[in-house]
Structure formats: structure tokens, C-alpha cells
Amino acid sequence: MAYPISDDSYSGGQAFVRDTLQALVRAGLKRKLRDLKGAPEPRMQLAGREVLLLCSNNYLGLATDDRLKQAAQQATEIYGCGATGSRLISGNSEPHRVLEQAIASYKGTEAALVFTSGYHANLGAITALVGTGDAIFSDALNHASLIDGARLSRAEILIYPHRDVEDLEKKLRSRISVRRKLILTETVFSMDGDLAPLRDIAYLAKKYGSLLLADEAHATGLFGPTGAGLVEALELQSAVDVQMGTFSKALGSLGGYLAASKDLIDYFLNCSRSFIFTTGLPPGVLAASTEAVRIAREEPEHRETLWRNVGTLRRGLGEMGFGLGPSQSQILPLLLYYKRRTMAACRFLLRRGVFVQGIRPPTVPPGTERLRIAPMATHTAKDLETALAAFAELQSLLQSPKRRTTAGESSTAAPVGVLK
């Protein structure tokens, strides 16, 4: 049969691609990659000029710590660049074992299992724990990896309003006779920076015989006496069945983990498809993560500097009249409510040399568009001053009486034109 040749690649089955891209442009939701150069340090190059980085998850500055780099280099020398096999075939090197012991000890659990990413860890845990006929109870603002894991599991998904334990209890009661129940919550919410009512949730899990998975992606390295996370801060290690997290944020490296009892970890090793059917992480990455866990645990000064920086920005922005919602963490959401206004504010700050990414749907619900500000321990007092000066200019423009509006956005609150 002759292969149908066409000059127009959109004449066949790909028409939906162009339609979708065009629709995203029309909706103000088309995304593109930014061309950043340099390491994730306070100063980076973006589109040929220096910017102050204020939206990285490198909260403690560990991604560029010399000790992590050395650990990665040494492990790469010894073990090579890639694991080149799935963990259960030929990819299980010594650095895996060392990291799993380190993270289990940090989290106060019997054992731990490292995955390629936090996304893989959530998918692997949820799909192994529940399936058809079971029920998942999920916070309305949970991360996409929790949502996708829940959908893939084929369990029934009941979404409770954000942080609403009364509604969660109602939903748990309504599924009392279901075979297996699983509650999913982040501990520090990634886009709002507020905290889950984890003690109440753990109490309900026990009362209704439900499993509880706590996603500590944005708490690990930061909360609790040794920075192990919110579970440590609230001393809930024995009440949370699975502490999930990632090495890719405060720990400055890559990879996800599940920390739990020996039996649960053995179960995940045998039943989590996103663990079984993928290649292990490179040894250099694993060694860097192990060093990051050691530093986060033994050197509280990085956290202390971060919290000071968070306090400075929070105070400064508050004095300018910016609301930061319910944030109780290093994540400071500056809500602008409209996607075009948010992206215009992002561009405005960029022109003043400050890079804070605008966050739009589907990452956040429509109508809650925001700038997600994330200070780092490595920001200096001068960096924070620079940032605050740019935000002060932004605020005076947002409050300017000469607001002009853009079609499709509210005429009372969207000064897009003046931000151009």
C-alpha cells in the first residue's frame, strides 16, 4: 500500500494538535519553556540578561552545594553514569541502599524505597494500595501526581474541599464498608503554602480504618526539629502509613521516596509498577541526595536562614498591601486572580530583573492565578531588597487609577495594559 504523502502535516490525524495549540493561545494558557542559563542560584541568566531567581524549589540552596557536587562526581567515577537496569534486574547499586537507609532513618520509619521521581513514587504507592471497589479521599488542592495516581488506580475518588476535615469525615463515614480506604494529602501545599490539618486527618484515618499517605514534597528538609517534614514536626510518624517525598526540592537533587514499615516497603517493591518497570536513578544523583539528607539533618542553619528570608519577604510584601493567602511556609502565593494580569505582572518583574513565574490553570484552579514566590536560603539581604523594590513598583502600578483592561478580564481588577 502506498504511504500517503502530504505537504500539510495537519491534513491528517494531527488537526487536533493545531486546534488545541490555537485554543490555548486564545485562552491565554499557552506555555513555553524559558531559556535559563546557569545553576539555580540567586542570580541566573534569562534571555541574555541577569535575573534574580525567586521561584525555584532549591529552598536550601543545596542544588549548588559543593559537597553534593563532590558526592555526585565520586559516585559517578566509581559506578558510572547510569544504572542501566531496573532495580529488580541489574540496576540496584550500593548508592540506592545507602540512600534508602538514610531517608528511612531521617523519616523515622523502618524502611524506604527510592523511585525515579516524586511523581513515580505517588503513582506507585497509590496504584499498589487501592484498586477497583476501593475508595480514595483526596484534598481538592492535591498535586497532579496524587490526582493521576488516584485516577490510574481505578478506585472511587472522593474529593473533599481543601483542608476540610468535617467533610472528609462525612465522606469516610459514607464509605464505611468499602474494602480499602486511602486518604491522600500534601502536608505543605505546593501552590498555596498552607499546611494540612494532619493531626485531625491522622485521627480520622485511624477512626475509619483508612490508610493515610502524606506527601511531604515541600516539607522535607524544612519542617520539624531535624527538618524531616511536617510529620516529624507533629510527631505523627506512627500515625501516617506512608510518608512520600522527593529529593528534587529542598534536597536539591532528584528522585522520589516512600518511607514506611518494612512490610509496606516490601509490598511496594513487589507491587508498584512505576518502581518495577523503569530504570534506577543514576548513582551520582543518589549520592548527591544522600549527602543532601545528611546536610539537611545536621546543619539547621540553612533552614534558619531560609525562614529569616521568608519573614523578610512576607513582612515587606505585607507592608505594601499584598495578601499572601493562608501561606504558613516558604511558598508565598501572591494572588492576582486573572491569567493575563498574572503573566503581565510576571513580565513586568522580569523587566526589573526579578524572575517569579506566573502560575495558571491547570496548575491552579481558574480564578486563583498567582505569582508563586519562593525565597531561598542563599538569597542575600541585598537580593531581597532588590525583589521588594520591584514588587513595590508592581504594587503602585496595580493600584494606579489609570487602569486599562483587556477583553475577557474584569474591568475592576485587571490592569493589564499599564503593565505592558
- Contacts with ligand PLP, residue ranges (CB under 6 A): 117-119, 122, 143, 145, 186, 190, 215, 217-218, 246, 248, 256
- The continuous run of DSSP H or E covering 275 comes out as helix 273-276
389, three cell numbers: 523594590
**Is 261:111 a contact under the CB 8 Å cutoff?**
yes
**189 or 322: whose CB is closer to ligand PLP?**
189
Report phi then psi at 280, rounded to 5.
Answer: -65, 160
**222 or 384: whose CB is closer to ligand PLP?**
222
Minimum Å distance from CB 255 to ligand PLP?
A: 7
Minimum Å distance from CB 296 to ligand PLP?
A: 16
Got the DSSP string for 148-169? HHHHHHT-EEEEEPTT-HHHHH
Minimum Å distance from CB 113 to ligand PLP?
A: 14
- 107, 143, 181, 249: the catalytic one is 249
326, three cell numbers: 493562608
- Strand pairing category for 49-53 and 354-355: parallel
**Is 102:96 a contact under the CB 8 Å cutoff?**
no
Minimum Å distance from CB 216 to ligand PLP?
A: 8
Geometric angle at alpha carbon 62, from 70 and 72, rounded to 5°:
25
42, three cell numbers: 540567586
- 56, 93, 117, 190: the catalytic one is 190
Residue 100 DSSP label: H
Active-site residue flag, 396: no
**Is 52:68 a contact under the CB 8 Å cutoff?**
no
Active-site residue flag, 177: no
Minimum Å distance from CB 310 to ligand PLP?
A: 18
- 96, 171, 218, 302: the catalytic one is 218
Instruction: Return d(Cα 340, Cα 118) in angstroms, integer.
Output: 31
Active-site residue flag, 420: no
Q: Is 76 helix (H, G, I), strand (E, B) or coil?
A: helix
Identify the CA nearest to 299 among candidates 233, 221, 237, 219.
Answer: 221
Minimum Å distance from CB 233 to ligand PLP?
A: 17
Helical pair 301-319 and 283-298, crossing angle rounded to 10 deg:
80
Minimum Å distance from CB 378 to ligand PLP?
A: 20
Instruction: Return d(Cα 81, Cα 148) in angstroms, integer.
Output: 30
β-bridge mates for residue 137, sequence order: 158, 183
Instruction: Return d(Cα 205, Cα 202) in angstroms, integer.
Output: 5
Residue 379 DSSP label: -
Which residues are part of the catalytic machinery? 190, 218, 249
